[in-house]
Structure 1
Amino acid sequence: MATVTTVALLLIAGCTGARGAAESPFDQVDGLIGGDVADELRSTLTEAMERSGSSGAIAGVWAPWSGSWEVAVGTTTPDGDTPVSTDMSFRAGLITTGMACTVLLRLVDEGKVQLNQQVGPVVGVPGLDGITFAQLCQQTSGLGDYYGPIRRYLISNPERVWPAAELLASGLARDRAGEPGEKWSYSRTATILLGIALEEATNTEFAELLARYVSGPLDLGGTALPSPTDVELPGAAAAGLVATPGGESRCTTLSDVSNLSSSAGYAAFGAISNLEDLRVWSRALATGVLLSEQSASAQWATVPRGTSAESWESYGLGASEFGPMRGIASEIPGSLTAAYADPETGLTVVVALNNSTAGVDFVRRTALALASIGSKADAAEGREMPLVELPWSVEQMLEAMREQGVCEPSAADESDESEG
């Protein structure tokens, strides 16, 4: 059954629209998080930027009972002097997958597809027996992941246009992780197949489905799946950096993959977005405001994230659950992103780094560290500080983040950290 919060949000959505429904329950304080919490948030973001080898970082933490913290640090290029800003666009990466699965669930609500429907007959591709739409989003399809074998080509030729059918074929040629429904194993191939199937089921391009069912209802003006040949981010943006394969240093020998074709990720990781849009999206995803009660419940009927996952780590339809925080972390060439929200308290965190070398665990731990710090923000006058029960400490996340880092922080930052 849906939570009381979800039911209330669905009622609100009928009156205020999806964006208002995502915002209304939390009554976000219109003020800034300050003091020691703001200092610790900035210190953590700056350290993450430096340890990942990024030239710039953008992040936001929103604690509805206290206020907001939105900060950009660093510059758009390693040797440049143009500062990054909080309104810059960046690549959403695997956050696109959560949006694709929300499109699926909205089509389920409209009766156009079913979660337990087999996807093979829809796309007319052999070898997909037993694989359902739900399994594609739950990451239990058993399909191999196409991303690893082509990643080096994305770095050497980021502007190449990749037909979705070619990506699918590459993934289908990989060894299977198991039988459909047998176990959780992350596969971007599954989401490529999902995108193709949704297009076939609706006779509509995925970019239009994304606009119709996600970015349009939520008024996400900076979120879209660009044309495969529209490789530049709109407006001023930070460069996309990644360690050059076979280079002398993972920290300093870098390739610029700023102009990455959306076709490389398509429905799995092709979208672009910005800080404000991902704040709204994260809360909408976590609370299920775009969905019916039944679909919202189905999205968060989770399974363990593999056999080595912590007891508080699980996966729904297109996104993870870490303790109370729901969302997605991502690595694609040139970008690390993460966005999480707590559906009960509204605590929300978004992080974007412009060097992908340190990997997805690095940015996830950065985001969860920021969530831990933000959860301790003092309540504004007239508000009450909620209990946000996170099953990790900021120290645990920072230690893990540092282990994943590829560069050492500057002497100045190490000095500041020791003084704190």
Structure 2
Amino acid sequence: MRRILGFAATTLVATLALTGCTGGSTPSPEEIADPLPSALVDQFVSATEHALEAAGAPGAIVGVWVPWAGEWKSGVGETEPGSGDEPDTDMTFRAGTVTRSMTCDVLYAMDGGSVRIDDPITDYVPSVPQLDDVTLGSLCDSEAGLRSSGDLNWNQILPNTAREWTPREFVSSGLGSGRTSTGSWNNSDTSYFLLGYALENATHTPLAELIQTYLTDPENLKHTVLPASKAATPGSNALPGFYTSSSARQAGCEEPPAEYTKISSSMGYADSGIVSTIDDLGTYTAKLARQIGDLEDPPARWADSMPVDADGDQWIRVAGGDRFYGTMVGQEGSILGYSTATYSDINTGVTVAVTLNNSASGGNVVGALARELAAIAMTADGSRKPEDAALPWTIEQAHDAVTEAAVCPVS
């Protein structure tokens, strides 16, 4: 396929023909009520328990929706080490870099009104004249050559989790380390901090209100919000969040991870500050897949995708604040305390969402787990199962990817 997949030379492409794409007609997760078969559920649980080991996380909340077969939502493990309490699927958590997609949603919803996609960032943030070649759209695509700021500020973030950061501080840190080449993707939180800051300046409205106006209210995402910057738990019924330090990982993760449930969301802001639930993430991501609709002719936001790694697998791509694994679109990443991934298949509507309550593995373990869950889901039988229910990876390959990304010992 032309841009998004870009791996026609591989033998797996034959299984991914886009004829008869059903992305616009599949039921959304909230319309799927039948339980998935117990044999599949056992596979989901086993895969999640393996990922919990790899990430050093006490617990997970998982949702899998298969339009022709049913749904499975569950907590796995425990809310905190030794508690014995299984996470509840209604619990809220920090959704990490899913926030990038939502920030881009706001940008594209405002296009032609308060802002335009091709407006230079200097129209709204004049204090960065060196970025006169950077547009709002290139920030959404993270192709402006801006380096990430999170690692630079990590030694200040970790011991001061209640600190209320301003977007300018993160932007300044990222810009202070220079620029990489433009026109290729860079995993840069600086891009989204700067984009969120520009949208606020353009409208004189806090980003939290813009997300509510342009996304969560219209889409009825009742439990999704960008919190205020004051340190707080992610909601009144929050899944506790943890982090295993690098020294503890080197020692084999024998000590319990440190808890980081109550932090300032300002460390995530437009990049990773969103709080949500599994149901909301499933609904949101499935709609994203339906919005794209047809990978042969996607909307402009996703038309010019780029590989995550120019020298790596070309079917792993990014565009418009989203990641594409073959025909699945979504996001994966972390914020202190939580690692989250959510993907939906554009062809079939299969949707997965999962959060692990330890952020030490970043988005790597949880992203691989999401792919494993999706591969398992594709094996579900049903009379309405589409002919194109296939993915360019196997269950075993995704399982091995979880193991390879492990930051704690796995059995």
TM-score after normalising by structure 2: 0.88
Q: Percent of counterpart pairs with the same letter?
A: 32
Aligned AA for 1:396?
Q
Question: 1:17 corresponds to which residue?
Answer: none
Which structure 1 residue ranges, 4+ long, deviate > 6 Å from structure 2? 3-8
Aligned AA for 1:79?
G
| TM-aligned CA distance change 1:60 to 1:107, over 3 Å | same
Alignment counterpart, residue 343 of structure 2, candidates 336, 340, 343: 340
Question: 2:117 corresponds to which residue?
Answer: 115
Question: 1:224 corresponds to which residue?
Answer: 225
Aligned AA for 1:50?
E
Greater helix share, 1 or 2?
1
Contact 2:95 2:334 in 1 (8 A): no
Question: How far did residue 245 of structure 1 move?
Answer: 4.4
Unaligned runs of 5+ in 1: 10-21, 415-420
Alignment counterpart, residue 331 of structure 2, candidates 328, 331, 337: 328
Question: What is the DSSP-based 3-state SS (H/G/I as helix, E as strand, rest coil) of the residue aligned with 2:61?
Answer: strand
The alignment of Structure 1 onto Structure 2 pairs a total of residues equal to 389
Question: How far did residue 389 of structure 1 move?
Answer: 2.6
| TM-aligned CA distance change 1:133 to 1:227, over 3 Å | same
Question: 1:201 corresponds to which residue?
Answer: 202
Q: Distance in 2 between matches of 1:121 and 1:6?
A: 40
Q: Does 1:37 align with 2:37?
A: no
Question: How far did residue 188 of structure 1 move?
Answer: 0.4
Q: Distance in 1 between matches of 2:265 and 2:84?
A: 28
Q: What pairs up with 1:5-404 in 2 under 5 angstroms?
A: 24=27, 28-108=31-111, 110-125=112-127, 126-178=129-181, 180-181=182-183, 183-247=184-248, 249=251, 251-253=253-255, 254-288=257-291, 296-379=299-382, 382-404=383-405
My pick for the range that moved more, 303-312 or 337-346, is 303-312
Question: What is the DSSP-based 3-state SS (H/G/I as helix, E as strand, rest coil) of the residue aligned with 2:171?
Answer: helix
Q: Distance in 1 between matches of 2:266 and 2:286?
A: 27
RMSD, aligned α-carbons: 2.5
Q: 1:300-319 CA distances to partner (integer Å, 9 max, x unpaired)?
A: 43112131331211111101
| TM-aligned CA distance change 1:220 to 1:73, over 3 Å | same
Question: What is the DSSP-based 3-state SS (H/G/I as helix, E as strand, rest coil) of the residue aligned with 2:124?
Answer: helix
Question: 1:417 corresponds to which residue?
Answer: none
Aligned AA for 2:35?
L
Q: Distance in 1 between matches of 2:209 and 2:298?
A: 21
Question: 2:11 corresponds to which residue?
Answer: none
Q: 1:334-390 CA distances to partner (integer Å, 9 max, x unpaired)?
A: 1110000012211001010001112311111110011000111111xx533442231
Contact 1:229 1:261 in 2 (8 A): yes
Question: What is the DSSP-based 3-state SS (H/G/I as helix, E as strand, rest coil) of the residue aligned with 1:159?
Answer: coil
Question: What is the DSSP-based 3-state SS (H/G/I as helix, E as strand, rest coil) of the residue aligned with 1:58?
Answer: strand
My pick for the range that moved more, 49-58 or 273-282, is 49-58
| TM-aligned CA distance change 1:92 to 1:5, over 3 Å | farther
Q: Distance in 2 between matches of 1:160 and 1:364?
A: 29
